[in-house]
């Protein structure tokens, strides 16, 4: 979905999201959170999976229709000036969240290498777009028997041999995120994760999107919508 973003005056960064009103009546009552897929000069693009009443409503919108957006919200990804090559690992619709990051990396002259995981090759969302941004893309699927954690570990190891990776970014898979937590610890590199949670208010009031993070030896709860959705990968409690 492409929307005219010219009325938005705030700076919009990869990893942030918008809460979108998905109807004209009281049903569905709550807005739906959508991560940003592409950030253009005057437009924003959102990629979403049609699952319920909210997303079905969005499919009925036509060119010229108005949509009620609330955002940009949340803390974005952070790209350091010292980064030369980054690794992106995503599964399913999580790929859409990392597309805007690949776009920003290309604009900043940072090379991106991506591992995209899905059930089938037809589900490999945004693979072509990432390649258009200059990313080196590897694809793994359940259909081809290549998406298991052991195989992805081998791929990450090989990529790290071929490219000095400065940071890792991930979204969309708990299993792969746990794997990457281990690998960034082994290789002493930073990582960031964009968490996906059901949100009620997207402002930190309702506490519907709480997750646990570890600070030193203490574990405490944070709100994904306000304190995230992007967190340091090593701090998020996934196991």
Q: Is 35 annotated as a binding residue?
A: yes
Phi, psi of 54 (to 5 degrees): -65, -50
Q: Is 34 annotated as a binding residue?
A: yes
pTM of the model: 0.93
Of 105, 86, 111, 116, give the one whose Cα is nearest residue 176: 116
Q: Is 111 annotated as a binding residue?
A: no
Give the pLDDT confidence score for residue 150 in this predicted structure: 95
What share of the chain in percent tops pLDDT 90? 78
Q: Which domains does the chain have, with CATH numbers?
A: 2-73 (2.40.30.10), 85-197 (3.40.50.80)
Q: Is 94 annotated as a binding residue?
A: no
Q: Which residue has the tokens 């945004």?
A: 126
Q: Is 22 annotated as a binding residue?
A: no
Q: Is 60 annotated as a binding residue?
A: no
How many whole angstroms separate alpha carbon 159 and alpha carbon 153? 10
Write the pLDDT tens digit of every residue in 122-138: 888 788 889 989 999 99
Q: Is 164 annotated as a binding residue?
A: no
Q: Is 146 annotated as a binding residue?
A: no
Write the pLDDT tens digit of every residue in 91-122: 988 888 899 999 999 999 999 999 999 999 88
**pLDDT score of 68 more than 80:** yes
Cβ-based neighbours of 176, under 8 Å, separated by 6 or more:
89, 91, 117, 149, 152, 170
Of 75, 104, 99, 74, give the one whose Cα is nearest residue 88: 99
């Amino acid at each position: 979905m492409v929307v005219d973003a010219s009325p938005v005056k705030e700076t919009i960064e990869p990893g942030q999201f918008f809460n979108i009103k998905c109807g004209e009546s009281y049903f569905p009552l709550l807005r739906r959170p959508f991560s940003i897929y592409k950030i253009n000069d005057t437009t924003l693009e959102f990629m979403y999976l049609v699952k319920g009443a909210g997303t079905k409503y969005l499919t009925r919108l036509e060119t010229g229709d108005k949509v009620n957006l609330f955002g940009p919200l949340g803390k974005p990804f952070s790209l350091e000036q010292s980064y030369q090559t980054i690794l992106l690992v995503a599964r399913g619709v999580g790929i859409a969240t990392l597309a805007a990051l690949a776009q920003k990396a290309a604009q900043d002259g940072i090379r991106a290498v991506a591992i995209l995981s899905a059930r089938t090759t037809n589900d490999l969302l945004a693979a072509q777009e990432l390649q258009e941004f200059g990313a080196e893309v590897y694809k793994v699927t359940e259909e081809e028997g290549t998406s298991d954690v052991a195989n992805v570990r081998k791929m990450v190891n090989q990529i790290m041999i071929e490219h000095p990776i400065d940071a890792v970014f991930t979204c969309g898979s708990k299993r792969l995120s746990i794997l990457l937590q281990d690998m960034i610890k082994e290789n002493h590199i930073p990582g960031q994760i964009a968490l996906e949670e059901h949100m009620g208010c997207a402002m930190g009031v309702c506490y519907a999107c709480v997750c646990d993070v570890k600070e030193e030896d203490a574990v405490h709860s944070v709100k994904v919508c306000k304190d995230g959705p992007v967190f340091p990968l090593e701090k998020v409690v996934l196991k």
